[in-house]
Amino acid sequence: MMDVIAGFVAIPDETAFWLRNATVPAPLLTAVPSGVRVSAEGLAVVDLAVRDGRIVDVAAAGGSALDGPRAGVGADRASRDAGVDLRRGQVWPCLIDAHTHLDKGHTWERAPNPDGTFDGAIRTVMADRAAHWSAEDVRRRMDFGLRCSFAHGTRAIRTHLDSAGPQAAITWPVFEELRKAWAGRIGLQAVSLVPLQVFGAREGEALAERVAAAGGILGAVGYVSPEIDALLDRMLALAEAHGLDVDLHCDESGDVGARALSHLARAVRRRGFAGRVVCGHCCSLAIQSPDVVAETLDLVVEAGISVISLPMCNLYLQDRVPGRTPRWRGVTLLHELAARRVRVAVASDNCRDAFHGYGDHDMLEVFREAARIGHLDRPFGDWPRAVTATPADLMGLTGAGRIGPGMPADLVLFEGRSWSELLSRPQANRVVLRNGRAIERRLPDYRELDDLVSPLESRGAPHGA
């Protein structure tokens, strides 16, 4: 086990204290307090009062004001001096990862992608799943990913779960067990991941029942086929019957003909579907003609579909042809969607499996890479919401992912002050507060999984056995 990572600042072990001189991206504040100037970079410097696990006051930073009475902290004047000067380090609400695959994670050593392509990933994971995905295997790798997420400051996760054939009966009970074990630390949601064709058969009905029984979300991989409209109608009908939200993987492809998103939007409109609909990836939108794009975006707006972009995984898989340099970045039309007021979140997607050979479930890394890949930085504008408030909203976590009076003191404190300081280093010495208390930031040791994932020769198997 690795040592606990030392934070850049010590948090007092008190029930009430101030976090002074905290730089907060203004779009993450429920309200900009009076007297606070928002910089040209969209940053505000404030003092945050924490009491009994909640933020009770957000006020203009200023040492002299701390000597006077402060609303919110109330009569407990003894708490006035307990606190810490963050010296303008950034403070964010705990992060929210709206799209990942905990069940696939950390299989790279035993099931690497042979050529880095999407097809290579599909083939590799299918074989790995058939050979290895017992309840214990899935549980230990999922728990590993959850511990990484927690240590990096994530408080809610939506994971897709491979649910075709016999796997659903293995993985969903493990998910329910982990959701219970992690309650209060990471709020967990799960989405079924199956080919859309499953909803053309009896299996689709059984799956919807299982998902409903577990309080999950109905999902599939949508791709264009002659039956796509009938299959989407069937899936939405099952979601409606069971009161489920829907979350699809759509158009994770560099094929200009990949238009499942527009079929989905039409189906949502046709059925008047009342639940929330979220669509992940939508990569092909970035390489389609302007008229096709305009038509699809109109439909998406009308259907109220939210989009989740997965920049790290897209950059890894899209436009990969072995031996050839990639020509596009793989991400969807982040700016164009946002300009139409479509809710756009960014999320981690796969970590250390055949779909993405890297990653550590760190949403700051996801934000940093998204900013660079998608040019979310000149200006940063509302994009900090894409890993906080927006995923909270589209996951139905009302009001989460923001900083304001009354919100839980679930915060990530970074040493970096400006955007450039924040995103130039991994901020490995960040401090994570949960309900106002600093957590032990312990990243699990990869060696824990050696007996599951290492190739046989490195497991100490006896020679000549």
Footprint (CB under 5 A) of Zn ion, residues 269-288:
none
Give which of 66, 19, 70 is closest to 46, Cα–Cα.
19
- For residues 282 and 304, what is the distance between their CA atoms, to the nearest angstrom? 15
* Residue closer to Zn ion (CB basis): 79 or 390: 390
Amino acid identity, position 293:
V
- Range 370-400 burial, b when 16+ CB lie within 10 A, else e: bbebbebbeebebbbbbbbbbbbbbbebeeb
Q: Rounded CA gap, 358 and 364, in Å?
A: 15
Q: Which residue's CB is nearer to Zn ion, number 103 or number 349? A: 349
Provide the minimum distance between the beta carbon of 280 and Zn ion in the complex, in angstroms, as a whole number: 5
CA distances from 436 to 31, 75, 94, 120 (A): 20, 19, 12, 45
Cβ proximity to Zn ion, 47 vs 349, nearer residue: 349
Question: Considering only residues 407-426, where is the footprint of Zn ion by CB under 5 A?
Answer: none
- According to CB under 5 A, which residues from 321 to 360 bind Zn ion? 349
Strand 437-438 vs strand 154-162: parallel, antiparallel, or unpaired?
Answer: unpaired
CA of residue 337 relative to chain centroid, distance: 18
Compare residues 57 and 97 and give the one whose CB is closer to Zn ion: 97
Could you give the C-alpha distances from 84 to 75, 404, 411, in angstroms and in order? 20, 18, 14
In angstroms, give the least distance from the CB of 221 to Zn ion: 9
Nearest approach, Cβ of residue 255 and Zn ion (Å): 17
Nearer to Zn ion, 220 or 412 (CB): 220
Backbone angles phi, psi at 61, to 5 degrees: -70, 145
Quote the tokens at residue 271: 């059925």
CB of 403 vs Zn ion, minimal distance in Å: 29
What is the token pair recorded at 229? Answer: 């409209």
Residue tagged active-site, from 176, 252, 369, 457: 252
Q: In the bound complex, what is the minimum distance in angstroms from residue 251's beta carbon to Zn ion?
A: 12
Q: Is 252 a catalytic residue?
A: yes
Distance CA 38, CA 262 (A): 39
Any bridge partners for residue 353, and if so which? 356
Q: Please give the C-alpha separations between residue 224 and each of 54, 101, 196, 252, 418, in angstroms, as whole numbers.
A: 48, 23, 10, 12, 44
316 three-state secondary structure? helix
- Least CB distance to Zn ion at residue 310 (A): 6
- Count of residues in contact with Zn ion, rule CB under 5 A: 1
Closest CB to Zn ion among residues 26, 250: 250
User: Whole-number minimum distance, CB 325 to Zn ion, in Å?
Assistant: 25
Closest-approach residue to Zn ion (CB): 349
Nearer to Zn ion, 42 or 222 (CB): 222
Q: Which conformational region is residue 165 in: left (phi greater than 0), alpha (psi within -120 to 50 degrees), or beta?
A: left
Q: Which stretches of the chain bind Zn ion, using CB under 5 A?
A: 349
Which residues belong to the active site?
A: 252
